Amino acid sequence: MNLEQELTTKLEAVESKIQAGQQLSETEMELLLLTSLIEEEGEK
C-alpha cells in the first residue's frame, strides 16, 4: 500500500470517529496535520 492509500484508509476511520462525536487521540490529530500539510502543499 502506498502513502496515499494508507492515508485514505486511516482518514476514513478518523472521519467516522468525528462523525460519531468521539474524541480523537493525539496520533489521529497528527494524522490530520500531516494530511492538511500535504493538501496545502500545492498552494502558491
Q: Based on CB atoms, which residue is closest to other proteins, 12 or 44?
A: 44
Name the maximum alpha-carbon separation found in the chain.
35
**Hunting for cell 472521519 — which residue is that?**
15
Residue 35, exposed/middle/buried by CB under 10 A (0-12, 13-18, 19+)? middle
Report the nearest approach of other proteins to the CB of residue 42 (Å): 10
User: What does the binding site for other proteins look like in residue numbers (CB under 8 A)?
Assistant: 1-3, 6-7, 10, 18, 21-24, 26-27, 29-34, 36-41, 43-44
